């Protein structure tokens, strides 16, 4: 395995980091909003599903 000069390594890292395309502020805000919306929708879905299952089991087992 070839040893890399630390300075050369840092220069290569900097060059690769410059190739990254970073999202704009608007894209970041839109994506964050969509993620929060999906978390809310998923939470409501699982709350509803859990409630229905709990109600169904209580009905089947005769517990209130």
4-62, pLDDT tens digit by residue? 788 999 999 999 999 999 899 999 999 999 999 999 999 999 999 999 999 999 999 98
pLDDT for 64 beyond 70:
no
Nearest C-alpha neighbor of 6 from the set 20, 33, 14: 14
Going from N- to C-terminal start, the domains of the chain cover: 39-64
Q: Give the C-alpha distances (Å, rounded to integers) separating 56 from 24, 36, 42, 48, 59.
A: 48, 30, 21, 12, 5
User: pTM above the 0.85 mark?
Assistant: no
């Amino acid at each position: 395995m070839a040893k890399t000069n630390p300075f050369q390594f840092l220069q290569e890292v900097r060059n690769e980091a410059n190739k990254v395309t970073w999202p704009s502020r608007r894209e970041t805000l839109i994506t964050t909003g969509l993620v929060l919306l999906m978390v809310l929708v998923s939470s409501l879905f699982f709350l509803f599903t859990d409630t229905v299952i709990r109600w169904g089991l209580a009905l089947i087992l005769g517990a209130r």
